[in-house]
Structure 1
Amino acid sequence: MTGFLEEMATASGARVAAARARESAVALERRALATPPAPRLALRPQGLDVIAEIKLRSPAAGVLGDAGGDWLERAKLYARAGAAAVSVLTEPTRFDGALEHLAAAAAALRAFDVPVMRKDFLVDPYQVFEARANGAGGVLLILRMLSAMQYGELIEAACAQGLFVLLEAFDAPELELAGELSRAHAARGTLLAGLNCRDLQSLAVVPERFAQLAPVLPAGVTTVAESGVDTPADALRLQRQGYRVVLVGSALMACADPAGWIGEALRASRTGRTQTG
């Protein structure tokens, strides 16, 4: 585990301990079970899908977009434009996220039948129940920061709660593991295998990694390209390389017309070309 992930894992564990002191796991699970089911993740039979992200800050880029802007309205624009899901950062110290953001987005996007995904550095099943209790339809799990026991418990909790899972990998062995886990749990839930092209030492994105690892994308599994997707042309190129979904955060947060970005990416996936060729 890198220094950054170790820092995030430690902070995440501390947040779990503080949350347990306020609300027991039993009480949280009861509240999660009483929460209406989230919309299901519905991917297109063919072409490309977009998971659009609400990310107010990143450690690499600082504040993203208009710090005083209405991020919830931006989330609605994502949904109207055809995003398959909206990812919401809930990590507070480095990303300015909050569970309250997740709950607000889930409530607002229910009218569009679009699920929200909790994106955070999850280390404990308690956090999966937190996601469910706050309206999430899915969670992201970073394989590199989890032991086999941890990711097994987290996946089990997510499947039991009816949440889809995005398993995030950073290299070929992790991508293979994500594929194996996705196939193993296919009968119980929706698991996606994601490849993040970010270098965890420098936090810089390395888009070339998508092409380098395209030959080893797991067969029979929905694959997601994460980080470094800046333009609809990037999304089209990734589709041609075999990726089925793109997760786009910073580019959409900085974009004056995020709905146009998503619409162009979806059109390009059908026509095979962007408006600029």
Structure 2
Amino acid sequence: MILVTGATGGLGSAVIDTLLENTSAQDLAVLVRDKQKGEHLAAKGVSVRYGDYDDYQSLVKAFTGIKKLLLVSAPAVSHERLERESNAINAAIEAGVKHIFFTGIQQRKDVDYIIPWVTEGSRQIESLIKESGMAYTIVENTIYSDSLPLYAGEKVLEGGFYFPSGNGKIAFALRSELGEAIAKLLLQNGHENQTYTLTNNESWSFAEIASMISEVSGKEIRHKDVSKQEFLSYRLAFDPIPEVYLDFFAEWAAATKNGEFAYTDPMLEKLLGRKPSHLKEFIAEYYGKSKA
């Protein structure tokens, strides 16, 4: 049996959707803190199991009888992330899980660049997984195309794209396609003790992204490579997003500028069996002229 954590979130939902299309619901389970949120899956025959990352025994109970476990990483800005994901890994060991899959974040391996709230925690979790004795598959995802509007801000069509990323690039991919690819990994035999990076086939700078937004919206949009403080001041003036998240975006921009997300890997296309959707497709849908 396969169990998916975070199954009511964006990535987890995409994984479950593909699993349901390709295998019996009776072979699937999900972990939820609120069983009501899993009712739609229970109605399809999926085993909905209660578990709380702060309640170790609830995780052991939920993971009992599971062969493959997909641990969808918690939000990167969560300071409790390391403790909670450690609980999940230890509970999986105690419950007898054979193979753990973990979703991490794409980042270059040949440098010591630290992304605050992300890099150190991810490295510690991955080390715990590799030392757990379970077979493991680590999936390092690129940045979601779906998250681009958060980086751009609500006023991008009026004021331009303020983002302190220099000429750095990101190989954005749709969350739904990343979820589809991960589901296919779960359904296949093998992949023990492997680390895969899932990216689009090309990467884009924010100047290129601004140009694409201009083309589909009919408005001239330019990328403005401002300082971190200028970015924060501009966005805080109108954006309802809490400052801690904007600060996180600024750190993400710095990582982008350093080239952490620019490299591409063919594994996503290989798993999908087709080319990943071009970023412009998402931009056209989100910023198209009818919505401008």
TM-score with structure 2 setting the length? 0.35
Which structure is larger by alpha-carbon Rg, 1 or 2? 2
TM-score with structure 1 setting the length? 0.37
